[in-house]
């Protein structure tokens, strides 16, 4: 007689643990119930296949650079920040790409957009590293918001028509960068 309540208690405890550790979708999965997709859209994915957002940002010297200056030219746009070590690594890789690709006919302009940092901090970083990447400043974060940036670094590959063809979140090696550039040149 005592065994029956213990068995029921054991089953209830097992179900509780399954739901608690298995997530809220576990029981519907077991029951075979249809459920909505829980896939989270990737950062910037709503921009894929669409016109890249317009920007008008100052470079380190204060000269404004507009996205329209790159009409009919494929371009790589990298969002980054000095405080993020991976993003800083991406600037170094981008700089190496520019140095090596400058001897090749398949060079695509690359622009780095610093997200929400002061000019003096970014300038100091660039001078210390001796980087040649064209650097733009998005001090207020408006362009960063327009491009739906949630993680740094984030790279946008934009074709000659100004359409976003690829978005990559994280650090791209120089080879991966060249491969993706090759894709927007096709």
Number of domains composing the chain? 2
pLDDT of amino acid 1: 57
Both 30 and 91 in a single domain? no
**Domain, as residue range, for 126:** 45-185
Residues 105 and 166 in one domain: yes
| Position 16 confidence tier, pLDDT thresholds 50, 70, 90 | low
pLDDT tens column, 50-63? 999 999 999 999 99
Q: Which residues contact 10 (CB under 8 A, 6 or more apart)?
A: none
Does residue 37 register a pLDDT over 70?
no
Is residue 52 located within the same domain as residue 129?
Answer: yes
Are 91 and 180 in a shared domain? yes
Helix (H, G, I), strand (E, B) or coil at 120: helix
Q: Looking at the structure, do residues 35 and 56 belong to the same domain, yes or no? A: no
Residues 34, 60, single domain; the answer is no
Asked if 163 and 146 count as a contact pair (C-beta separation under 8 A), the reply is no
Are 47 and 115 in contact, with CB atoms under 8 Å apart? Answer: no
Whether 20 and 59 map to the same domain: the answer is: no
Residues 117, 28 share a domain? no
pLDDT score, position 24: 45
123-170 pLDDT tens trace: 999 999 999 999 999 999 999 999 999 999 999 999 999 999 999 999
Are 94 and 52 found together in one domain?
Answer: yes
pLDDT (average), residues 67-94? 95
Q: Do 24 and 64 share a domain, yes or no?
A: no
Widest distance between CA atoms in the chain: 86
145: CATH? 3.40.30.10
What's the average model confidence in pLDDT over 78-82? 97
* Residue 26: pLDDT over 70: no
Whether residue 69 sits in one domain with residue 103? yes
Same domain, 53 and 23: no
Q: Is the peptide bond before 153 cis (omega within 30 degrees of 0)?
A: yes
Are residues 158 and 81 in contact, defined by beta-carbon separation less than 8 angstroms? no
């Amino acid at each position: 007689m005592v065994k029956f309540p213990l068995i029921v208690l054991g089953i209830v405890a097992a179900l509780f643990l399954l739901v608690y550790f298995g997530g809220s979708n576990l029981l519907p999965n077991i029951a075979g119930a249809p459920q909505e997709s829980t896939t989270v859209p990737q950062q910037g994915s709503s921009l894929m296949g669409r016109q890249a957002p317009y920007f008008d940002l100052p470079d380190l010297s204060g000269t404004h650079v507009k996205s329209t200056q790159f009409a009919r030219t494929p371009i790589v746009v990298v969002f980054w920040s000095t405080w993020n070590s991976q993003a800083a690594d991406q600037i170094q890789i981008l700089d190496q790409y520019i140095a090596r690709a400058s001897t090749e006919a398949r060079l695509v302009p690359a622009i780095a957009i610093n997200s929400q940092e002061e000019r003096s901090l970014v300038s100091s970083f660039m001078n210390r590293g001796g980087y040649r990447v064209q650097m733009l400043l998005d001090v207020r974060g408006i362009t960063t918001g327009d491009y739906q940036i949630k993680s740094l670094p984030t790279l946008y590959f934009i074709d000659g028509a100004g359409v976003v063809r690829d978005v990559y979140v994280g650090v791209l090696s120089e080879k991966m960068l060249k491969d993706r550039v090759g894709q927007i040149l096709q």
